[in-house]
Amino acid sequence: MAPVGEKDLTDLENRLGCALPPALRAYHQTLGALSLAETLCSVAESDTPIQPLLEAFPAIEDIAENEDQLSLAHELIVFSDYLGNGNMFCFHRKTGEVYYFDHDGGAMLTCFFPSPQNYLDALMIRCLAEIHQETADEASEESILAQRFGQQLVRKWLY
């Protein structure tokens, strides 16, 4: 844990050309990048920095199915790396909505949450389930997430 200073956050926002959503900004000011159930990207240059989706996954230009997908990809900023497998969570630079980028199959860009706050809430549920895995099983974790966010979202995220 290494909280991030105001200067580093401002420098990042200047590089990105947009502000971080308030919940994500507050998270980094308080905790910094962490590897929880997933890896929350770093404000500083690192192996997993917060960066535009097109920089994190340049091949998206080759796999986008249409101009709408490509146009949307230009607006997305990666802030979480799902297990290091190339699938990532991104926020929309104008709306703050959270999209899941999945290069493995199905919809490539899926709107998951209205804001990073919802993503962070879901991630905390996953983390607590991992910590208490002796008393909770995978089915109960999925059940809690599905009750809160919907079964379709949970299936896309976890499988």
List, for residues 122-155, the tens digit of each pLDDT value: 888 887 776 766 555 556 777 888 888 888 888 8
Q: pTM of the prediction?
A: 0.87
User: What confidence score (pLDDT) does residue 9 get?
Assistant: 96
| C-alpha–C-alpha distance, residues 63 and 92, integer Å | 20
The residues, ordered by sequence, that sit 6+ positions from 153 with a Cβ below 8 Å of its Cβ are: 112, 145
First to last CA, the chain: 29
User: What confidence score (pLDDT) does residue 72 get?
Assistant: 96
Q: Within the chain, which residues score under 70 in pLDDT?
A: 1, 83-84, 130, 132-139
CATH number belonging to the domain at 6-115, selected among 3.40.1580, 3.40.1130, 3.40.190, 3.40.50: 3.40.1580
User: What confidence score (pLDDT) does residue 109 get?
Assistant: 94
User: What confidence score (pLDDT) does residue 138 get?
Assistant: 58
User: What confidence score (pLDDT) does residue 82 get?
Assistant: 76
